[in-house]
Amino acid sequence: MVAASTRLVDGYCFIVRCCWPFSYRKKIYQSKQLKRDIAAELEIIKQQFSQTQNKRVLAKSLSILLRRVCISYQTTQNVAGLTGDDWLLWLDNEQVSSTTRNTAKSLKFQSETGKALLKAPYLPENSELDFDAKHLIRLCESWLLASHKNSPTEKS
């Protein structure tokens, strides 16, 4: 009886040892795919802005993309429920990479440029926003393409 249960445990250990590397590789692949999808979506938004020069649509599109990415990265907190300055503060605090933090010190979401993300989704179609569009793109791009505390590869 003991020998049979030992063989059973050994069999389970063998399966775990064989399958774990594949599940880890799958997690890494999914993370890289998510990064590629984010970069592609960001590129579409930038191209759309270069054609239309519509700041309201730019800020609205970036805001939507940031929300979607936040929800994808953060599954343990209620990020979707964050609004206003709380959301901007969360974005500022979420980046992990120290090099990104050092370069992003001047690129804060709590600045007037970052606050365009809060206003844009709720403005009428013909509204004009006054902010530095290139600065907002750089700010969002640095956040979207950086490492995050809860990205799929950060979770083990």
pLDDT value at residue 7:
60
Q: Does residue 11 belong to any structural domain of this protein? A: no
Residues lower than pLDDT 70 in the chain? 1-31, 75-76, 95-107, 148-156
pLDDT value at residue 119:
87
The tokens describing 72, both together, are 């994808």
Q: Does residue 101 belong to any structural domain of this protein? A: yes
pLDDT value at residue 40:
93
Q: Does residue 134 belong to any structural domain of this protein? A: yes
Q: Does residue 8 belong to any structural domain of this protein? A: no
pLDDT in tens, 63-90: 999 998 888 877 667 787 888 999 898 8
Q: Does residue 102 belong to any structural domain of this protein? A: yes
CB 79 within 8 A of CB 90: yes
Provide CB contacts within 8 A for 146, sequence distance 6+.
Answer: 95, 96, 97, 100, 104
pLDDT value at residue 139:
92
Q: How many distinct structural domains can be found in the chain? A: 1
Q: Which domain holds residue 103?
A: 33-144
Q: Does residue 13 belong to any structural domain of this protein? A: no
Task: Please state whether the predicted TM-score (pTM) of the whole model is above 0.85.
Answer: no
CB 58 within 8 A of CB 133: yes
Q: Does residue 71 belong to any structural domain of this protein? A: yes
Q: Does residue 15 belong to any structural domain of this protein? A: no
Distance CA(108)–CA(110), nearest Å, equals 5
